[in-house]
């Protein structure tokens, strides 16, 4: 919070270092760590119960990951700019209910229109967040904590305790939630498309690089002529829009929607991004990492079920993982800062 | 503020946000007791005080934490874990006199863990306490699952729900008032309080002034956990129900109340009377709306919107005030040509 100035140089060191690492291999050290953890977890669970690797179980994991990954991509986009969006679970709920009621009234509505409707609802919420953060000049944490309440309340207002059941939704929409194309479930396909588009834009396009620059040092970005305010709004808009799409995917997958849809998701989403190596202090991380984080969390969830461990452990593990990830992040940052200092002293 | 001379002292005091919140709170209390049926009844008054108790308790150390520029989002989970452990220990047959101190120690330990991550490992408090928010709540479910433990001794539960001499004032208001006075004096009349403000205003400057900022923050987190543990014990006794999901989501209400009370989220600014007014205001609004049959979910909208307003409004006030001062300075400066030229240069 008030440590902005102290942190800035460290973060610029981080970005330099991550560039060096990426030359070494396809994955940065952190993302390689998640992949290893994933492999170990899957291998161990599979030896305990062979059903864990059955087609149905893998399908369930992928479907679960798809929704979380779409949300995590949005969260990563916001976190890279040194902000946070805690309202995503509520936006998902609002969008799921909005699209559900639309489909209830218009049974013939094509899936693509539903997706666009969800995107619009989410983008509107994201715009509210972005404008409040930009012009209020208050931490995104507080603003999105407020809208977490407000959007959820709006969903409850609208739903009024009612629930939309699967039999009230058109069949083609429910089939979209469960069917595949070329063996890949639609939901997974959409998540992969979102990941690729966001990943490429953030990595290769100016708009994306500007977000990293803002996160590394807002002052420097401002001085470099980057329109920080506009980009902040854009990042929240993206996060909101993706949460809106996730709402549609949620509705299609589960078929039953009430105002509580996605309650508490924000924690898992932040966890997925943080575990995936997106720094809370901005300026580093990739959407690939966030996607892997989402996969890891989902796999942990189903492993616990398969291993017959109390499901309640899941949340505790999520918490421990967040602490572990930010701890590791800090460790890397300190080491990089030290090595940079050493290098500078030789020059 | 340089415009002190132009206004009577009470007016400029009123213009400060925390004083304004106190006034708004009184006004809302008056309107509610006039316009809302049953609001003014002594029974409702008791419930109002009982409802605001846990939030008020936790808001006391939270004020300190936020004034130093940090945050503790794990408080409600600490409350839940304490409650779950209390239930589990009671199930195992320990006496309540042993359980309560153990629960308070547990709260302090959970707070110390936050403090360790924030001050020793120097991790951002926001991320740390989001992590422990999930961890502590998860552990609460691991301890107690989704069951509830209810059969706590009557002597304790009836004291917590009871009132002083059968009047409208609940017994538990006594420890709250004592703690509020202690925390208020500590913040506004002791070197500790000055160190807290100094650390929040500028950490490095505070360090150069000889304040051990890290140690200070560590102990603030310990106290925050301890009080959250106490709130957990009182919550459990009040509802006579130890559950893992007790106090779920309450961290938002606490942060909302503290910010509403005029504490700056950037640290270095705020008063404890303002925070208590913020707690009362939030509780009064919720209570009055609930009496009007407004649903819990709609109340969430009120909390959320209030939270946003309370962080936006002080910013807007400061900005417009600065603009007014600039204009005033210019108009004061313009009569003499030299200073007018100077102002022009500026």
pLDDT above 70: residue A63? yes
Asked if the interface predicted TM-score (ipTM) of this complex is over 0.95, the answer is no
Q: Kindly give the residue spans of alpha helices, DSSP state H, lying in chain A.
A: 4-24, 29-48, 55-80, 88-105, 111-136, 140-159, 171-178, 186-204, 206-216, 218-223, 228-254, 265-275, 287-306, 313-346
How far does Cα B140 stand from its chain's mean position? 23
Q: Give the minimum alpha-carbon distance from B50 to chain A in angstroms, rounded to a whole number.
A: 23
Buried b (16+ CB within 10 A) or exposed e, B202-230: ebeebeeeebebbebbbbbbbbbbbbbbb
**Which residue spans within chain B are E strands per DSSP?**
148-149, 242-243
Which residues of A are less than 8 Å from B117 in CB distance? 323, 327
- Nearest 5 degrees, angle CA A21-CA A27-CA A28? 40
Q: Give the residue-averaged pLDDT of B49-59.
A: 94
> Which residue among A132, A157, A274 places its CB closest to the CB of B298?
A157
Neighbour count for residue A2 (Cβ, 10 Å) = 17
A residues 4..43 contacting B (CB < 8 A): 6
Whether B141 contacts chain A with CB within 8 A: yes
Sort residue B153 into left (φ over 0), alpha (ψ -120 to 50) or beta: beta
> Which residue among B127, B259, B266 places its CB closest to the CB of A280?
B127
**pLDDT at residue B7 in the model:** 55
Select, from the ranges B4-13, B107-116, B316-325, the one with the highest average predicted confidence (pLDDT). Answer: B107-116
Please, which pLDDT band fits residue B319 given cuts at 50, 70 and 90? Answer: confident
> Which residue among A132, A274, A314 places its CB closest to the CB of B308?
A132
Whether B262 contacts chain A with CB within 8 A: no
Please indicate whether, in this complex, the C-beta atoms of B265 and A148 are within 8 angstroms of each other.
Answer: no
Q: Give the residue-averaged pLDDT of B72-76.
A: 95
Please, which pLDDT band fits residue B340 given cuts at 50, 70 and 90? Answer: very low
**pLDDT at residue A74 in the model:** 95
Three-state secondary structure call for residue B149: strand
Closest to B141 (Cα-Cα) out of A313, A268, A265, A297: A313
- CA neighbours closer than 13 Å in the CB half-sphere of residue B91: 15
DSSP B8-34: -HHHHHHTSHHHHHHHHHHHHHHHHHH
Could you report the per-residue pLDDT of B200-226, keeping only the tens digit for each?
998 888 999 889 999 999 999 999 999
A residues 121..150 contacting B (CB < 8 A): 132, 136-139, 141-143, 145-150
Separation CA A16–CA A10 (nearest Å): 10
Closest to A1 (Cα-Cα) out of B98, B35, B14, B263: B263
Contact A211, A233 (CB under 8 A): no
Specify which residues B163 forms β-bridges with.
B170
Pairing status of strand B242-243 against strand A184-185: unpaired
Could you report the per-residue pLDDT of A227-284, keeping only the tens digit for each?
888 999 999 999 999 999 999 999 998 888 888 888 888 888 998 998 888 887 778 8
Q: Give the residue-averaged pLDDT of B61-68.
A: 96
Three-state secondary structure call for residue A269: helix
**pLDDT at residue B69 in the model:** 92
Please, which pLDDT band fits residue B242 given cuts at 50, 70 and 90? Answer: very high
B residues 266..325 contacting A (CB < 8 A): 266-268, 295, 297-308, 311-312, 315
Please indicate whether, in this complex, the C-beta atoms of A138 and B311 are within 8 angstroms of each other.
Answer: yes
Q: Read off the pTM.
A: 0.83
Separation CA B109–CA B134 (nearest Å): 16
Whether B214 contacts chain A with CB within 8 A: no
How far does Cα B134 stand from its chain's mean position? 20
Mean pLDDT of all residues belonging to chain A? 83
Which residues of A are less than 8 Å from B135 in CB distance? 315-316, 318-320, 322-323
Which residues of A are less than 8 Å from B126 in CB distance? 1, 84, 141, 280
Please, which pLDDT band fits residue B321 given cuts at 50, 70 and 90? Answer: confident
Which residues of B are less than 8 Å from A152 in CB distance? 297, 300
Q: Residues 6 or more apart from A119 whose CB is under 8 A from it?
A: A241, A244, A245, A248
Contact A155, A97 (CB under 8 A): yes
Poorest-confidence range of A185-194, A200-209, A256-265? A256-265
Could you report the per-residue pLDDT of A1-57, keeping only the tens digit for each?
343 333 344 444 444 444 444 444 444 566 777 888 889 888 888 888 888 888 888
């Amino acid at each position: 919070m008030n440590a902005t100035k102290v942190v800035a140089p460290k973060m610029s060191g981080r970005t330099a270092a991550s560039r060096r690492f990426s030359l070494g291999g396809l994955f940065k050290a952190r993302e390689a760590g998640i992949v290893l953890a994933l492999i170990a977890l899957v291998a161990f669970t599979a030896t305990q119960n062979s059903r864990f690797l059955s087609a149905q179980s893998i399908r369930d994991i992928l479907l679960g990951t798809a929704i979380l990954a779409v949300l995590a991509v949005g969260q990563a986009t916001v976190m890279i700019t040194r902000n946070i969006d805690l309202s995503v679970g509520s936006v998902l709920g609002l969008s799921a209910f909005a699209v559900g009621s639309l489909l209830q009234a218009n049974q013939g509505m094509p899936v693509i229109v539903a997706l666009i409707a969800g995107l619009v609802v989410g983008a509107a919420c994201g715009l509210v967040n972005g404008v409040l953060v930009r012009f209020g000049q208050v931490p995104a944490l507080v603003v999105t904590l407020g809208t977490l309440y407000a959007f959820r309340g709006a969903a409850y207002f609208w739903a009024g305790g009612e629930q939309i059941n699967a039999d009230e939704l058109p069949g083609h929409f429910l089939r979209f939630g469960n069917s595949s194309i070329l063996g890949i479930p639609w939901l997974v396909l959409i998540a992969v498309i979102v990941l690729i588009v966001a990943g490429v834009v953030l990595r290769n396009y100016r708009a994306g690089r500007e977000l990293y620059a803002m996160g590394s040092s807002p002052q420097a970005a401002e001085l470099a002529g980057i329109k920080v305010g506009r980009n902040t709004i854009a990042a929240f808009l993206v996060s909101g829009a993706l949460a809106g799409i996730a709402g549609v995917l949620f509705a299609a997958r589960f078929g039953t929607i009430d105002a509580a849809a996605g309650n508490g998701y924000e924690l898992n989403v932040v966890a997925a991004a943080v575990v995936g190596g997106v720094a809370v202090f901005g300026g580093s991380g990739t959407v690939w990492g966030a996607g892997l984080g989402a996969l890891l969390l989902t796999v942990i969830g189903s492993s616990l079920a398969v291993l017959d461990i109390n499901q309640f452990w899941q949340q505790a593990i999520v918490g421990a993982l967040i602490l572990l990830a930010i701890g590791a992040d800090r460790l890397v940052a300190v080491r990089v800062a030290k090595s940079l200092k050493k290098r500078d002293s030789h020059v | 503020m340089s415009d002190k001379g132009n206004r009577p002292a009470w007016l400029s005091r009123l213009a400060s946000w925390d004083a304004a919140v106190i006034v708004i709170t009184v006004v809302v209390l008056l309107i509610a007791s006039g316009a809302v049926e049953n609001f003014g009844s002594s029974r409702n008054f008791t419930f109002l005080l009982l409802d605001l108790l846990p939030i008020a308790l936790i808001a006391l150390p939270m004020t300190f934490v936020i004034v130093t520029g940090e945050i503790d989002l794990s408080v409600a989970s600490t409350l839940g874990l304490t409650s779950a452990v209390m239930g589990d220990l009671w199930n195992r047959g320990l006496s309540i006199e042993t359980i309560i101190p153990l629960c308070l120690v547990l709260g302090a330990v959970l707070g110390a863990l936050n403090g360790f991550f924030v001050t020793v490992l120097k991790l951002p408090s926001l991320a740390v306490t989001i992590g422990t928010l999930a961890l502590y709540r998860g552990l609460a479910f691991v301890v107690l699952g989704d069951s509830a433990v209810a059969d706590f001794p009557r002597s304790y539960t009836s004291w917590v729900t009871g009132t002083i001499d059968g009047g409208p004032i609940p017994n538990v208001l006594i420890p709250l008032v004592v703690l509020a006075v202690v925390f208020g004096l500590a913040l506004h009349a002791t070197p500790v309080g000055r160190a807290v403000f100094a650390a929040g205003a500028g950490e490095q400057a505070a360090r150069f002034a000889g304040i051990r900022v890290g140690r200070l923050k560590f102990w603030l987190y310990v106290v925050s956990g301890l009080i959250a543990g106490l709130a957990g014990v009182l919550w459990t006794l009040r509802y006579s129900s130890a559950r893992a999901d007790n106090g779920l989501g309450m961290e938002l209400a606490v942060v909302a109340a503290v910010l509403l009370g005029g504490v700056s989220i950037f640290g270095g600014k705020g008063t404890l009377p303002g925070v208590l007014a913020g707690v009362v205001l939030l509780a009064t609004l919720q209570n009055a709306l609930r009496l009007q049959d407004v649903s819990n979910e709609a109340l969430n909208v009120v909390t959320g919107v209030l939270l946003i307003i309370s962080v936006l409004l002080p910013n807007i006030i400061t900005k417009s005030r600065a603009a007014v001062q600039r204009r005033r300075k210019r108009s004061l400066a313009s009569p003499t040509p030299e200073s007018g030229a100077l102002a022009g240069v500026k």
